[in-house]
Amino acid sequence: MNVSGGLSDDEEKLAQITALSWIYVSTLSLSLIGSCSVVVVSIIKRRHLNEQAKPLLQLALADFLASLVLMCTVIINLPNEILPHGGTICKHGLPLSLAFNCVSFFLVIIYACESAHAFQVWREKAEQEAFEMQLSRRRKRFCLIYVIAWLVPIIGYLVYIKTFKVMEATLTPANKPAHNPDMTHVSRGPSARFCGSCILFLHLSNDSCTRVDSTHAEFIRVFTLSSVLIVIISCTVVYCRLHSCYRHYENTSMFTVSQRHSGGIWSSARYMILVVIFCWAPALVLICLSFPQSKIEHLFPLYVIQALSVSLQGFLNSIVYAWRRRNFRDAVTGERLRLMDYSNRAFFDQSLNEPS
């Protein structure tokens, strides 16, 4: 994430850092509004939303926290002078934002798995036992998975910060003051301001900024790349299998005419997959270009695209998983009773099978 090769001089670097910061702030505002709306509605209308409130609330909350932390971190680039503790904010803020994005990835995979499980259980065992009893047992099993989805990224973040501090203390010479390390490299000059700037994926590759920890930069590269690829591959496999199951049952007596919607499941699932691809493909390109550890030139347009796409994840998730779905809108507006009361179908099944 080194843009130093693509920026001709220090003043141009600072101007482009400022432009990127405003892009982040503008687009992150949309994500905050979108995810916050789902959080508020899921809490207020939880009785009407019934069991769908938990996964939607958690996904929207993870997106909201990721956007909020990233916005608070990027804002430190906007003043003319680097803030006294800007380096500390950046070191803690950017990985924390990625940790919440990782939580969102886990929840997206869980959502896909619950969708497939709800569909298969309902189709294959609906005649053997009451659906609501089945649903209750399944939800209890998934509660542990939800806890793990939150704990693992947060624990990983704490370990990352701890090792970062240990390595920083090890590399700091004994004859230099360690009480305020942020001021060491950001006290003066445009070059110092560039090194102290806080932009996602800015210092992944070799550059002239001595503050960059190559070991932790390498970890961020591998972690982000693997996380995005895992969520894309996992969701694609799960939804493809779900679509195959749907096609298997489509012509059986278990489907009424009203339940058959041509391409319904894949039509909804592909948007869920495309959101991840759209939001993180530019970031993956930047990360892949940084692996050769060579000088990267003329990447500012790609950083603009990456800033726009990553910042919109919360906004797009709120549309795809919530507001685009008719059963969610109906429950929110109170046009129908609780979803389980009027449908007797799993909301995961219904949300994928219903036309928007």
268 CB-side CA count, 13 A: 26
Rounded CA-CA distance 159/155 in Å is: 6
Is residue 344 within 8 Å of residue 55, measured between CB atoms?
no
> Is 280 exposed, middle or buried, given 0-12, 13-18 or 19+ CB atoms closer than 10 A?
buried
Residue 208 pLDDT grade (very low, low, confident, very high; cuts 50, 70, 90): low
Q: What does the alpha-carbon distance between residue 167 and residue 52 come to, in Å, rounded to a whole number?
A: 44
Task: Give residues with Cβ within 8 angstroms of 152, minimum separation 6.
Answer: 102, 106
pTM (predicted TM-score): 0.81
Angstrom distance (rounded) from CA 268 to CA 324: 9
**Per-residue pLDDT, 53:** 74
List, in sequence order, the alpha helices (H) in 251-322.
264-290, 300-311, 313-318
Q: Kindly list the structural domains of the chain, giving each domain's residue range(s) and its CATH number in brackets, ordered by start.
A: 4-165+177-353 (1.20.1070.10)
> In this predicted structure, what is the pLDDT of residue 332?
76
pLDDT tens-digit readout, 213-248: 677 778 888 889 999 999 999 999 988 888 777 776
pLDDT by residue (tens digit) across 97-148?
999 999 999 999 998 888 777 666 555 554 445 555 655 666 677 788 899 9
Query: Could you read off the pLDDT of 66-81 as tens digits, one per residue?
Result: 999 999 999 988 876 5
Tens-place pLDDT, residues 276-303: 999 999 999 988 887 665 444 568 889 9
Predicted local distance difference test score (pLDDT) of residue 67: 96
Which of 84-88, 175-179, 305-309 comes out lowest in average pLDDT? Answer: 175-179
Total length of the chain = 356
Q: What's the confidence (pLDDT) of residue 230? A: 94
